[in-house]
Structure 1
Amino acid sequence: MSAAPVLPVTAAPRPPAPRRSPRGLVQPIAAVTSVVVLLGVPFWLIIATASKPHAEALDPDLSPPSHWQLLHNVSTVVEDGRMLKAFFGSLLVMVPSVAIVLVLGSMASWVLARRTSRLLAAVYAIAISGIVLPPAVVTIVLLLRQLGLAGTPVGMVGVYCGMYLSTVIFFVTGFVRTIPVELEEAARVDGASPVRVFFQIVFPLLRPVLATATILICLYIWNDVFYALFVIGGRLDTLPLNLYQVASSGLYLQNWELIFSYILVMSLPLLIVFAVAQRRIISGVTGGAVK
């Protein structure tokens, strides 16, 4: 008895890939064009103006400089604008403020996320209300004068801690709720104290959201000139305060190439940090939205 012939197996033909209609290309092209216009044009204006000679920079525009002298303008800014001293002044108020806010805000968020009661719900609402309620500058200055902290870095650190503690609590509380409670219960069974549970179990798991909060708070403090002007103006130089002072004096008056060079150098540290940590920032923003 002869076996039945085996027919060759042929793969099913793939359906043709759908072609994008011209209308489907309009949206991505419009989005990319909007990003280029909104971000690229201001950035090019800063670069071009900071690279021009003084005669060409009197009327800032988008035209490229006839002679690029960005390094010369930057060196002039660093040497004559007391920028190095202002840089350390900004670090003096930013680093302690960020460290204190992250630790205290994380501890408060841990308690608010793990315990549920009407009282703590009201405390949480009051804690995050600082995001939308602007602080009263006059009251802050008068209070610092009564405490003897007006015009001091300690007073400025206290102001920043009070202003941005709400931001940390808002970000971290939602993220803590995504951490399994069993990790903390296992540590308590082994005899760990609440402080040890927080710093050895919970705090290391908060790195993504703390990275996000760190970048945002550093951005706010690094570029702040309004509150610093009233609290420490004239007693301690920060980069925005120093730029405001030298731009208002005869040194940088109508010297747009120096002003834009100062802005470029002042923004460079945060741009580098943001470019390096952008993935961690995005994961921290979306991590608290799981629950």
Structure 2
Amino acid sequence: MPRRKQARRTTVRDIRTILRLTHEEGLSVREVAERLKIGKSSVSTYLLRAREAGLSWPLPAGSDDDAKLERLLFGRVGRPPRDLSEPDWALIIRELKRKGVTLTLLWQEYRACHPDGYGFTWFCERVAAFRQRMSTAFRNRHAAGAVMQTDYAGPTVPVLDPATGVIHPAQIFVAVLGASNLTFAFASSSQKLPDWIDGQVRALAFYGGVTKAIVCDNLKSGVAKALWFEPTLTATFAAMAEHYDTTILPTRSKKPRDKAVVSYCTLFGFR
């Protein structure tokens, strides 16, 4: 069995090169790591320690001594401290309810204010934990093939007509299977009944089958009266459900948890 290759030990000379390539030549952490054959995390750590020690490039006079420079950079033992400031989680939850606001966008704003703060995974986990503390909710476990949830995403997408050169806003129809989270998206010209029916049909064709129920938004063009167990559908939407031998369950007004899977996709963005 071949022996594992030993990692190259980073020297003080390498740290000087890291500072020079970063501040003088403007290379990114990835580019510096590739040039010196050093891990990106190591390069980031050395840059952080240099920033904490007040060092940049060119180095101040008297920094030619390797031992002195090493004491400046590594006098503190242990992992470099991080910015432990936490966002206002209540404000984050309120911001998520706004149209077009996603977790990625909020995390980027947090890192802009706290460059040495926590990563995206930590941010998402803390948001989920804060949500759970705020309110308790029943966890709905979906059986495979039981439910397809459909809705329109909030933001529109500009679409250019190649024939006329006119830009039209396109509505994004989204369908998600409850059990697998398999997602289908389709751009339509409007949210009117023909486009609403077309989106449902295209989604079923994409999945290659029909679910037992379709949990959908209570769109006025498809739902005349939105009741959870006895809804009144428009004639065309009811005819489509009869043709596919499925049940239509429009969600209640202002109850996004009735279609939580598709609401998550339209609110937080597609993965």
Higher relative contact order (CA 8 A, sep 6+): 1
TM-score normalized with structure 2 length: 0.25
TM-score (norm 1): 0.24
Identify the structure with the greater helix proportion: 1
- Please state which structure has a larger fraction of its residues in strand: 2
